[in-house]
Chains A and B, each alone.
Chain A
């Protein structure tokens, strides 16, 4: 399994709430970054290494909107330009650190990794539920000691629920539900649909939504490579479908969002969030969703950390066997490979 990074893309680096007036370090695609919130509120991202002796700027201090290196005092402004060098008036022309394009959207801090002049905000995939007042959201982030492709593989095939997460999110109807996998080749989207037309309503949903009787239950994966994964979970009384215009006022929705951000070739930031449009003020529902999703994420983390060690110890080109449940995962891999391979071609044209 190749681990090529896909550059020239937006990645989730943090939740907006993580970034304040303290310097914040996070590595994305092998690039150490330092973040802070400027006095005017916007998020700043710079390379986390002083040009002088490579000291981490994140181990330094913020003075207004400048970072003063904690080793020798080189001082950088919001765009990474060095504005002060200790003991001399002349500032060398090359005294600057790279600044990264940053956009705060849908509660996430997105950072562009690649050629800065290609950064286009309109390319950021959306997860609008996460800061929509019509939804209540619980969220977290777990560090994963495994390559990001293992998490992509894991999330694209929900049939592992029955085995890895037995008792948490597996349901008996799943095995008897037809699965459709779609790939939009132009827009690079993988969509895996499981539509259960007539299923028992799990007690948790019966209690929190008030639905009585059997339900229509959809679980649709929408993966927008490389970083954003959405699991649209829809629950409605049997036979109730979305309206022609796409609105869906008579169903209940849980939007599970993952941001899959490579940290290094062998580690990943596993951001997860669960947003719902029912029982908005019910703390018990929030606690249940947070606890159960975190438990599921940690079960995945344990398994994928083990798998990474195994794969790292094997030579490239090891044998795998793919079966029907891997249809979506294979589609995702192919798109990621294509995206990673497209970069050298683009670089060659420039």
Chain B
């Protein structure tokens, strides 16, 4: 897939990418945990439950470049 857009620079940014050509949403937590969803309500429940269900060893926040690609 193409590179991911990241416009906000804060330390606790949740990102949701709509995977082009599919009905899938990719949720990326600020801890780096990532999961696919087909329902935005379940998606936000999962993101906001951080750290529950986000893996046993949450990674440090990942710096992301601000770019279009």
- What 0/1 pattern do residues 10 to 27 of B give for CB contact below 8 A with A? 111111111110010100
Are B48's CB and A327's CB within 8 A?
Answer: no
Known: A182-B6, A220-B7. A327 touches B16 (CB 8 A): yes
Known: A191-B7, A322-B40. A180 touches B12 (CB 8 A): no
Distance from A69 Cβ to chain B, minimum over Cβ atoms (Å): 49
Are A178's CB and B10's CB within 8 A?
Answer: no
Are A184's CB and B40's CB within 8 A?
Answer: no
Distance from B17 Cβ to chain A, minimum over Cβ atoms (Å): 5
The contact of B18 among A182, A187, A324, A334, by CB within 8 Å, is A324
Q: Is A85 an interface residue (CB 8 A)?
A: no
Which residues of B does A touch, CB under 8 Å? 2, 4-8, 10-20, 23, 25, 30, 38-41, 43-44, 48, 67-69
Known: A195-B5, A330-B41, A330-B44. A180 touches B13 (CB 8 A): no
Q: Using CB atoms, name the residue of chain A closest to B48.
A: A334
Are A183's CB and B14's CB within 8 A?
Answer: yes
Are B68's CB and A324's CB within 8 A?
Answer: no
Interface size counted on chain A using CB atoms at 8 A: 29
Q: Which 5 A-B pairs have the closest CB atoms?
A: A184-B10, A180-B5, A181-B16, A185-B12, A178-B20
Q: Is A127 an interface residue (CB 8 A)?
A: no
Q: Is A176 an interface residue (CB 8 A)?
A: yes
Are B40's CB and A323's CB within 8 A?
Answer: yes
Q: How far is the CA of A326 from the CA of B42 in the complex (A)?
A: 12
- In the complex, which residues of chain A have a beta carbon less than 8 angstroms from the beta carbon of B67? 241
Are A178's CB and B2's CB within 8 A?
Answer: yes
Known: A197-B68, A216-B68, A324-B25. A331 touches B13 (CB 8 A): no
Q: How far is the CA of A186 from the CA of B15 in the complex (A)?
A: 14
Distance from B36 Cβ to chain A, minimum over Cβ atoms (Å): 12
Distance from A86 Cβ to chain B, minimum over Cβ atoms (Å): 56
Are B11's CB and A186's CB within 8 A?
Answer: yes
- In the complex, which residues of chain B have a beta carbon less than 8 angstroms from the beta carbon of A323? 40
Q: Using CB atoms, name the residue of chain B closest to A239.
A: B68
- In the complex, which residues of chain B have a beta carbon less than 8 angstroms from the beta carbon of A334? 44, 48
The contact of A327 among B11, B13, B43, by CB within 8 Å, is B43
The contact of A180 among B11, B17, B43, by CB within 8 Å, is B17
- In the complex, which residues of chain B have a beta carbon less than 8 angstroms from the beta carbon of A187? 10
Are B15's CB and A181's CB within 8 A?
Answer: yes
- In the complex, which residues of chain B have a beta carbon less than 8 angstroms from the beta carbon of A184? 8, 10, 12-13
Distance from A321 Cβ to chain B, minimum over Cβ atoms (Å): 9
Q: Using CB atoms, name the residue of chain A closest to B1.
A: A178
- What 0/1 pattern do residues 298 to 328 of A give for CB contact below 8 A with B? 0000000000000000000000001110110
Distance from B12 Cβ to chain A, minimum over Cβ atoms (Å): 4
Are A327's CB and B40's CB within 8 A?
Answer: yes
Are B14's CB and A182's CB within 8 A?
Answer: yes
Are B25's CB and A178's CB within 8 A?
Answer: no
Interfacial residues of chain A within 154-208, with CB under 8 A of chain B in the complex: 176-187, 189, 191, 193, 195, 197
Q: How far is the CA of A179 from the CA of B2 in the complex (A)?
A: 12
- In the complex, which residues of chain B have a beta carbon less than 8 angstroms from the beta carbon of A55? none
Q: Is A218 an interface residue (CB 8 A)?
A: yes
